[in-house]
Amino acid sequence: MKKNFILFTAVFFLFQCDSSESDIEVLGKSIGYKTANTLEMVDEIPITERSKTNPINSSIEKKFIKNGRLRFETDDLIETKGFLKELIKESNGYISSENQSQSGGRNYNALTVRIPTKNFDSFMNKLSGKVEKFETKNITVEDVTARFYDLKTRLKTKKELEKKYMQILQKAKTVKEILEVEREINKLREEIESTEGRFKYLSNQVSFSTLTIQFYKQVGSEPNFGSKIIDSLEDGIKYISSFFLGILSIWPFILIFGMIALFLSRLKKNRK
């Protein structure tokens, strides 16, 4: 009888110890809220490890970042620029930057364009049909599927973990417990905001392709030796013509000086 009483007491004590601890399992993180006024947390399981046990489904939508750089010559900068703006508008894109320059006898126009990725191929086909020849055509495609869904999963995990923290905060009874939970909530909120920023940036890069379009017009070239000789002869003729025209423009003065010279010459002859 005494042995049974001791056994019963031990079982009851263990049961009470287990019931004094309420553990919450949150997506790979165990949060233990104990009567000893302590908050225990186990680090989150890394996404890379979780992806090994739950790999990305091969049937999900792939995520790509497309970027491109184009350069070509045109006969009319204004007409080409107008065509590009209409094509960009038709593709629901926009111009993020624009600049003009002149170098080596060429007038350059450069546009940095953001085109919805779903309209990128259609935009390129229409532009290629208009441009006779591309001097530069460089298109890159980067697969960011794993990174995209990795960030998306991290963000979802952190937000659900925040909800669990809020539940724990409602159950906290002492000031120490409240401060500990609030400190963890603030830390988690900073992580959520940082992850949201990276996810939004990546989503924007996936949704809109970036295309740099540079087009130019040849406005002059370096003349060869023969052209320089011809230009020099033409300049000489111009100078001679200018000289005779200049003389003709002062004919009254020439006539007066001539008459004075003739009078002085006759006067000198009569004296002799």
Q: How does pLDDT run across 149-195, given as a tens digit for each residue? A: 999 999 999 999 999 999 998 888 899 888 999 999 999 999 999 99
Query: What pLDDT sits at residue 196?
Result: 93
In the chain, where the domains are located? 23-221
**Contact status, residue 81 vs residue 89, Cβ threshold 8 Å:** no
pLDDT class of 2 with cuts at 50, 70, 90: very low
Residue 34 confidence (pLDDT) above 60: no
Report the range of poorest mean pLDDT among 27-31, 128-132, 142-146, 167-171: 27-31
Residues 237-248 pLDDT 10s: 777 777 777 776
Query: What pLDDT sits at residue 25?
Result: 38
Q: Summarize the confidence of residues 9-14 as an average pLDDT.
A: 38
Residues 251-266 pLDDT 10s: 777 778 778 877 777 7
Residues 92-128 pLDDT 10s: 999 999 999 988 888 999 999 999 999 999 999 999 9
Of 182, 6, 213, nearest to 96 by C-alpha is 213
Query: What pLDDT sits at residue 234?
Result: 73
Q: What single-letter DSSP state applies at residue 62?
A: P
DSSP state string for 187-224? HHHHHHHHHHHHHHHHHHHHHEEEEEEEEEEE------
What pTM, to 2 d.p., does this model score?
Answer: 0.56
pLDDT class of 136 with cuts at 50, 70, 90: very high
Task: Report angle CA 270, 271, 272 to the nearest 5 degrees.
Answer: 90
Query: What pLDDT sits at residue 253?
Result: 73
pLDDT class of 226 with cuts at 50, 70, 90: low
Q: Residue 24: CA atoms inside 13 Å, Cβ hemisphere, count?
A: 18
Q: Summarize the confidence of residues 56-76 as an average pLDDT.
A: 86
Break the chain down into helix, strand, coil percent, rounded to 5.
60, 25, 15
Q: What is the mean pLDDT of the chain?
A: 77
Q: Which two tokens mark 209?
A: 């392709």
pLDDT class of 201 with cuts at 50, 70, 90: very high
Query: Which is higher by pLDDT, 40 or 192?
Result: 192
Query: What pLDDT sits at residue 221?
Result: 56
